[in-house]
A and B are shown apart, each in its own frame.
Chain A
Amino acid sequence: MGNTSTLFKGVKEFFVEIGDLSHFAARFLREVLKPPFEFKELIRQCYQMGNRSLMLVTVTGFIIGLVLTLQSRPTLIQFGAVSWMPNMVGISIVREIGPVITALICAGRIASGIGAELGSMRVTEQIDAMEVSGTNPFKYLVITRIMATTLMLPILVLYGDLVALYGSALVENLKGDVSFQLYFNTVFDALSFSDLVPATIKSFFFGFAIGLVGCYKGYYSKKGTAGVGIAANTAVVMASLLLFVIDFIAVFISDIFYEL
């Protein structure tokens, strides 16, 4: 009995949360096009976001490219298909691994950062202070941050892709005597717009989800310092989950287009 009722409560809370988040997203869409616009703050947020995650994206991208290539080399050699390496690595990185890994990194770094930042602003009444001083805190804090993540994530993804490909090329260069030029030529030949476009569109949604969840958790943070920790923590969990849901939907949709 007790178990079923807690389960029921959990399920109910889950749907309430989804409802609240959609509400928050709807408010963003309603207010994003209404003046006044906070351009200065938007630029600052974009810069901060890039600044905060560039190093992480570089390191993880490079290692992913390196590892992916090292791991698949023996198998490809076995089938005598090692010359397919650039095609295989290029496509898997650009279509799937690059966007997902970069987005996950940003969910860990950015969503938690936004959650903690807005959460502590909520707890220390800074958001209320903004409101009484005539600046709409939703516009100033939330819209700028969601816009920044939405715009910056695709750029970070492209950058991460390039770094990962570089890592992969390095392995091929050292182990298989493939020149960097040949490697990248093969990669770019193998890639087409139908690889890049869905991945980029997907990245916009990833960025939107990261900003949205971080802001939502922070903006409605519970009172007290514990609330800030919870906001940061749940922001990462919820953003990461949402990323996979979006990825699934995106792959599903682009699959339909491939078959056409």
Chain B
Amino acid sequence: MSFNMTDPDQITTSNESAKGGKAVIEIKDLYKSFGDNHVLNGFNMTLLEGENLVVMGKSGSGKSVMIKCLVGLVKPDSGTVKVLGKEINTLDQQTLDELRSDIGFLFQGSALYDSMTVRENLEFPMRRHKEKLGVVSDTEPLVREALENVGLAHTMDLMPVELSGGMKRRVALARTLILRPKVILYDEPTSGLDPITSKEIIELMRSIQKKYGTSSLIITHDVDCARVISERMILLVDGINYAEGTYSELSKSTDPKVDAFFKK
């Protein structure tokens, strides 16, 4: 795998990229404020099929707000958000829930249900999507497979409090994968983890992408993570997509706001 060797010329920001893929996520002119706090001021982004796109930004720049707009957890003030060809904010509840089963969302803090065991955590998303998976009663093989994918099959009957931060993140990833999403949204997958565990998580993300061919949107402020995994990057500064390009392009930029991200 040589993500950072990708020829910069081949990747453009338009829909007809080198991959020739169609857009799975399209954000146009996204605005969102909380009172006087103008978080997003016309953000644009396109995620292509099969692509790994990294969005970087400072803490508090609105990355989580942006990614939550993609699954309808936050309602934007204006702008359009299209996921898998559907405009998120016009869907009725049922269609929205169906669409959500195609979108995996890894929360910043893992968000495991702490009153349930690991097994129940993984079974939870299947409650409403039995038809999609075609399972009638026995969910055990699916749970086991998802946990094996992240190397934690032995934790099946533990409670989340009994897991370390890194293990929680991996279980959360397994829970995200269990519905076989077409797109995965990672909200800071490595935040709060030590460098070694971060690497493990990143490896996991790559192996999952290879195995299932999902498109991934990765939010991070971890430059190393971005370097390893990104095919293309967007910098979110002042509520807009301030700069776009590959890691090597952006890291050579002389713009002070861009450069600030890559300074050691």
Contacts and interface: CB of A to CB of B under 8 A. Distances in A.
B107 A134 contact: no
B100 A129 contact: no
B125 A133 contact: yes
Contacts of A179: none
B113 A129 contact: yes
Given A128-B111, A129-B113, A134 B71 contact: no
A150 B97 CA distance: 30
Contact of B101 (A120, A124, A134, A136): A134
Contacts of A128: 68, 73, 107, 111
B73 A134 contact: no
Given A125-B109, A126-B114, A131 B73 contact: yes
Contact of A132 (B71, B108, B115): B71
A135 interface: yes
Contacts of A136: 93
Secondary structure of the B contact surface, majority rule: loop
Interface of A: 117, 120-121, 124-126, 128-136
A129 B101 contact: no
Nearest to B172: A129
B114 to A, nearest CB: 7
Shortest Cβ-Cβ A-B pairs, 3 listed: A133-B125, A134-B128, A134-B97
Interface in B60-85: 68, 71, 73
Given A129-B107, A133-B179, 17 more contacts: A120-B114, A121-B113, A124-B109, A125-B107, A125-B108, A125-B111, A126-B111, A129-B111, A129-B113, A131-B73, A132-B71, A132-B100, A132-B105, A134-B127, A134-B128, A134-B129, A135-B127
Contacts of A133: 100-101, 124-125, 127-128, 179
Contacts of B125: 133-135
A125 B93 CA distance: 20
Contacts of B115: 117
A39 to B, nearest CB: 13
A136 B96 CA distance: 12
A31 to B, nearest CB: 11
A128 B71 CA distance: 10
Secondary structure of the A contact surface, majority rule: helix
B186 to A, nearest CB: 13
Interface residues of B, number: 24
A158 B107 CA distance: 45
Nearest to B116: A126
B259 to A, nearest CB: 32
9 contacts: A125-B111, A129-B107, A133-B124, A133-B125, A133-B127, A134-B125, A134-B127, A134-B128, A136-B93
Given A131-B73, A134-B97, A126 B113 contact: yes
A124 B192 CA distance: 14
B112 interface: yes
Interface string B87-122: 000000100011011010101110111110000000
Contacts of A124: 109, 111, 114
Nearest to A120: B114
Contacts of A129: 105, 107, 111, 113
A121 B121 CA distance: 14
B263 to A, nearest CB: 30
B115 to A, nearest CB: 8
Which of A120, A121, A132, A136 has the largest number of chain B CB atoms within 10 A?
A132
A34 to B, nearest CB: 11
A120 B161 CA distance: 14
A124 B110 CA distance: 8
A124 B128 CA distance: 22
A135 B113 contact: no
Contact of B124 (A117, A121, A125, A135): A135
A119 to B, nearest CB: 13
Given A132-B100, A134-B97, A134-B101, A126 B112 contact: yes
Nearest to A38: B127
A120 B115 CA distance: 11
B210 to A, nearest CB: 24
Contacts of A134: 97-98, 100-101, 125, 127-129
A121 B100 CA distance: 20
A120 B160 CA distance: 14
B255 to A, nearest CB: 33
A199 B111 CA distance: 42
